[in-house]
Amino acid sequence: MKGIPGNMQAVMQQAQQMQDKLQREVAQIKVEATAGGGMVTVTMDGQKNLLKVKIDPEVAGDVEMLQDMIVAASNEAVKKVDEEVQGKTRGLLGGMGLPPGLF
């Protein structure tokens, strides 16, 4: 047998195209999360890079509380990125006709 059978090769090409599309879509994700009722706001991209931190001047004096709020907002942003990526992945894989729950 020489190489990969034609049908399998087509499936692998489709999977590669879907992976490329997913990577492009993930690169465009931007989420925002807050803590302390909006006292701290963080912005994160699809690769979970922290892009921006906005701090209400009222909490700037309480360093411990500020640190906790930054951690909380960052953790929430990570969850939001994960949810966005899962949704995009499910959307792309749904088009392949794979059984539910596989991914």
pLDDT at 61 over 50: yes
Give the per-residue pLDDT at 3. Answer: 61
The whole-model pTM stands at 0.73
Proportion of the chain above pLDDT 70, given as a percent: 84
Measured from the Cβ of residue 61, the count of other Cβ atoms closer than 10 Å reads 8
Q: Is 53 left (phi over 0), alpha (psi -120 to 50) or beta?
A: beta
* Cα 83-88-89 angle, rounded to 5 deg: 95
Q: Is 32 left (phi over 0), alpha (psi -120 to 50) or beta?
A: beta
Domains and CATH numbers, the chain: 6-94 (3.30.1310.10)
Give the per-residue pLDDT at 100. Answer: 53
